[in-house]
Amino acid sequence: MNLVKLLANNWQPIAIIALVGTGLAVSHHQGYKSAFAKQQAVIDKMERDKAQALLLSAQNYARELE
């Protein structure tokens, strides 16, 4: 009974705390998604650079064999 009265009388601060907490959780999740996307872009670029370097190396080796 006391808990019901407490919640009924103080619903606004509780609602504000809940909204702020939800906002922080969403922001935190978006931060992780953004960091993952940036990291994945760096990894993709490194893989492209590696493939290009291997191709150039193979072409140079083929020229040496001629």
Total number of domains constituting the chain: 1
pLDDT of residue 6: 72
pLDDT of residue 5: 77
pLDDT of residue 9: 78
pLDDT of residue 1: 59
pLDDT of residue 4: 77
Tell whether pTM > 0.85: no
Domain that residue 38 falls in: 2-65
Tell me, rounded to whole angstroms, the distance of Cα 38 from its chain centroid.
7
pLDDT of residue 66: 83
Helices (H), the chain: 2-9, 11-65
Which residues in the chain land under pLDDT 70? 1
pLDDT of residue 11: 78
